[in-house]
């Protein structure tokens, strides 16, 4: 019996050492993952596309369309010609003065035509600029969407990697002790049952720190792990629980939960 227990102890020690090495490797991966993610995010940020805007030439065209210097020049020329005609008609005497009203109407028609042509030019240019602005907005929106999708993909990859490492760490909890105890056999189990009797009779505080990750304590029965405890937890027998519950309403409520039934 002593030999079996000693052998099991060696197996437990070896398994726990191996488990500790695996845990340290996984924790190192966990720390490295954060650094890798920060670097990947920085590199991705450098690829963020620059937002397109109207070119300087487009802005100049838009401003010229609003001001329309061609129309201004045409109006000035039409006004000069009209003034010359009025002067000539005035000097021509009564006959020229009779035609003055007709000349003024003609001058007004010229100004109206200049204004209409100016408006058509302005509308055409502004329409072209507006289409160009819409194309730029659509391009910027598509580029931003693609960039955000790349960010989301990076976040999902990081999350999946973290979950994988966390799962592996969780899988290590208690596995080393369970592997060592699996070789005890029937005699060793009998010894554990005797220990259980002592614990059930007197109660105990489990050794080590309260931490399932670094101090898992496997609960075994017939070579199979049926649960897990950790350090600083207290094992009480039914008599002790009964006495404490009479003095603690909290414990009474706790014991009514399904997991304690």
Cα 178 to Cα 16: distance, rounded to the nearest angstrom: 10
Q: Does the pLDDT of residue 76 top 90, yes or no?
A: yes
Cα 19 to Cα 32: distance, rounded to the nearest angstrom: 20
Q: Does the pLDDT of residue 124 top 90, yes or no?
A: yes
CB atoms within 10 A of CB 158: 17
- Of 120-124, 157-161, 177-181, 239-243, the least confident: 177-181
Q: Does the pLDDT of residue 2 top 60, yes or no?
A: no
Cα 112 to Cα 106: distance, rounded to the nearest angstrom: 10
- Nearest-5° Cα angle at 99, 93 to 103: 125
CB atoms within 10 A of CB 114: 19
pLDDT above 90 as % of the chain: 25
Q: Which helix (H) or strand (E) holds 225?
A: strand 224-230
Digit-coded pLDDT (tens) for 154-204: 888 888 888 887 777 777 654 544 444 444 333 333 344 444 444 545 667
Q: How confident is the model at residue 256 (pLDDT cuts 50, 70, 90)?
A: confident
Q: How confident is the model at residue 122 (pLDDT cuts 50, 70, 90)?
A: very high
User: Which of 221, 217, 199, 198 lies closest to 207 in space, CA to CA?
Assistant: 217
Q: How many helices and strands (H and E) does the chain possess? A: 9, 4
Domain boundaries, the chain: 2-46+174-260, 56-170
Q: Does the pLDDT of residue 7 top 80, yes or no?
A: no
- Of 45-49, 97-101, 154-158, 202-206, the least confident: 202-206
- Of 99-108, 177-186, 200-209, the least confident: 177-186
């Amino acid at each position: 019996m002593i030999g079996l227990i000693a052998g099991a102890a060696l197996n437990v020690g070896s398994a726990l050492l191996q488990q500790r090495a695996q845990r340290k490797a996984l924790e190192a991966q966990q720390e490295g993952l954060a650094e890798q993610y920060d670097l990947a995010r920085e590199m991705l940020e450098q690829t963020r596309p620059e937002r397109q805007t109207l070119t300087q030439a487009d802005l100049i065209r838009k401003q010229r369309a609003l001001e329309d210097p061609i129309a201004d020049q045409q109006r000035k020329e039409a006004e000069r010609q009209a003034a010359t005609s009025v002067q000539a008609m005035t000097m021509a005497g009564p006959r020229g003065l009779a035609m003055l009203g007709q000349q003024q109407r003609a001058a007004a028609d010229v100004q109206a035509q200049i204004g209409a042509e100016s408006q058509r030019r302005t509308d055409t240019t502004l329409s072209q600029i507006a289409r160009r602005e819409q194309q730029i907005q659509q391009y910027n929106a598509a580029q931003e969407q693609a960039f955000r999708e790349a960010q989301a993909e990076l976040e999902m990859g990081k999350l999946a990697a973290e979950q994988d490492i966390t799962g592996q760490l969780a899988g290590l909890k208690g596995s080393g002790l369970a592997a060592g105890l699996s070789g005890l056999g029937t005699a060793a189990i009998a010894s554990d049952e005797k220990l259980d009797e002592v614990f059930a009779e007197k109660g105990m505080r489990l050794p080590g720190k309260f931490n399932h990750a670094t101090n898992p304590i496997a609960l075994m029965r017939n070579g199979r792990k049926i649960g897990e405890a950790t350090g600083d937890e207290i094992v009480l027998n039914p008599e002790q629980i009964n006495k404490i519950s009479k003095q603690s309403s909290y414990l009474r409520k706790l014991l009514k939960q399904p997991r304690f039934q």
